[in-house]
Amino acid sequence: MQDETFFDSIKKNLNGEPGQPIVLGVCRTLAARFNQEVWLIRLAAIVLGVFYSFVTLVVYILLGLFMEETSHRSKSLFEGLGIWFQEFTDKVGKKCGSVCGSGRSSRRDY
């Protein structure tokens, strides 16, 4: 039986699956560019996200969109989110239409 320390457990979880990015692949790409380990970059992103949530999220998305290695995956993700949002709003519109009627009032004009 192998004893795994707390630090080793965190490192293992932050490395993710081999060859598969966790979200957009930004941390893996930055790690490769700066010749660092992926888990260090992910840990730094998490810590920054805790203290500077909005700024970290915006920078992460921008890096995902503009870095050559991650741009295709990022654009595909946002296209998918756009399609989902459009379908969601269509469903909500149909529900509102059926609840409110077809736009006709029940009042009669005399």
Question: Is residue 1 in a domain?
Answer: no
**What is the C-alpha separation between 43 and 31, in angstroms, rounded?**
12
pTM of the model: 0.61
pLDDT of 1: 45
Domain count, the chain: 1
Residue 104 falls inside a structural domain: no
The answer to the question of residue 107 being in a domain is no
* Phi/psi at 22 (5° precision): -75, -45
Name the residue among 15, 5, 22, 8 with its Cα closest to residue 70: 22
In a domain, 109, yes or no: no
Residue the block writes with tokens 């946002």: 78
**Domain that includes residue 56, residue range:** 6-99
Q: How far apart are CA 42 and CA 24, in angstroms?
A: 12
pLDDT in tens, 1-35: 456 777 676 666 666 666 666 678 899 899 999 99
pLDDT tens digits along 45-66:
999 999 999 999 999 999 988 9
